[in-house]
């Protein structure tokens, strides 16, 4: 009988959640304080110049890319062993593999699942993945098993017209094989600013959202590596 819900044995342990949460809070404070300087060498944490400079499939989902970050990590297993952990990402799916304590403090009642759940191993183009219970989700825009999984902030042109957002964004995972049955796992986030944002909005993004994204995403990459290699 297929899984109907993640069992307690499959959830992240409370001790790990607490210890990682304390790590996350510490890193977030340091990142916010140091961001005016550290952003110049931490924004693209772990990625190489060739990875940042090449054109990736998800980049084509935006008419123009104004801001883009590329974070990466080497995983010592082939892409096929990493893919199951990426495809089940989502609030009502396998969680986000990041700092669960910080997510809960932010009002996201997420449960990070640390086993592969069969019913979460399928995605369809256009399917919505929720990031927050009260906010619009991301939609699956490109999907190639064990190669890339790309999300965007709108489903189609009609949806875009209805919402008329100031910023369009993509959030994409890429798996690139390397020698020795290893792979590079990349997380690339790109934005197209359709109209100027207010100065307060720009300041909030620069001083809080950007370092928060860095802290949460680096933990996500490290957790996926741990799960895949384990």
pLDDT tens digits for 54-81? Answer: 999 999 999 899 999 999 999 999 999 9
> SS3 of 152, please?
strand
- List, in order, residues 6 or more apart from 125 with CB less than 8 Å away: 140, 141, 142, 143
What is the pLDDT at residue 94?
A: 94
Average pLDDT of 191-207?
A: 76
CA-to-CA distance for 56 and 198, rounded, in angstroms?
Answer: 30
Q: Show the tokens assigned to 121.
A: 């191993």
Residue 5 CB-density burial (10 A; 0-12 exposed, 13-18 middle, 19+ buried): exposed
Q: Show the tokens assigned to 217.
A: 């995403």
Looking at every residue in the chain, the average pLDDT score rounds to: 89
What is the pLDDT at residue 52?
A: 96
Average pLDDT of 34-47?
A: 90
At residue 8, does pLDDT exceed 70?
no
- Cα–Cα distances (Å) from 141 to 8, 192, 218, in that order, read 32, 16, 23
Average pLDDT of 144-165?
A: 84
> Model's pTM, two decimal places?
0.90
What is the pLDDT at residue 1?
A: 32
Average pLDDT of 122-141?
A: 90
Other residues' Cβ atoms within 10 Å of the Cβ of residue 217: 20
- Percentage of the chain beyond pLDDT 70 is 92
What is the pLDDT at residue 162?
A: 67
CA-to-CA distance for 17 and 154, rounded, in angstroms?
Answer: 32
Domain architecture of the chain: domains with CATH: 10-229 (3.30.530.20)
At residue 121, does pLDDT exceed 70?
yes
What is the pLDDT at residue 193?
A: 85
What is the pLDDT at residue 9?
A: 54
CA-to-CA distance for 138 and 131, rounded, in angstroms?
Answer: 7
């Amino acid at each position: 009988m297929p899984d109907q819900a993640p069992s307690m044995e499959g959830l992240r342990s409370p001790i790990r959640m607490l210890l990682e949460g304390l790590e996350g809070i510490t890193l977030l404070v340091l990142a916010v304080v140091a961001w005016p300087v550290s952003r110049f060498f931490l924004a693209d944490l772990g990625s190489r110049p060739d990875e940042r400079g090449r054109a990736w499939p998800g980049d084509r989902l935006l008419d123009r890319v104004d801001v883009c970050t590329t974070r990466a990590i080497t995983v010592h297993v082939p892409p096929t062993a990493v893919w199951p952990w990426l495809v089940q990402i989502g609030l009502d799916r396998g969680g986000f593999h990041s700092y669960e304590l910080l997510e809960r403090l932010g009002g996201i009642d997420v449960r990070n699942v640390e086993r592969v759940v069969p019913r979460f191993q399928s995605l369809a183009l256009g399917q919505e993945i929720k990031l927050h219970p009260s906010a619009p989700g991301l939609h699956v825009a490109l999907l190639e098993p064990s190669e890339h999984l790309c999300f965007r902030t709108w489903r189609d042109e009609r949806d875009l017209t209805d919402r008329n957002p100031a910023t369009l964004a993509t959030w994409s995972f890429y798996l690139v094989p390397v020698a020795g049955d290893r792979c590079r796992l990349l997380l690339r986030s790109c934005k197209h600013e359709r109209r100027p944002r207010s100065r307060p909005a720009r300041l909030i993004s620069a001083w809080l959202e950007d370092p928060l994204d860095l802290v949460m995403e680096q933990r996500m990459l490290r957790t996926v590596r741990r799960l895949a290699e384990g």
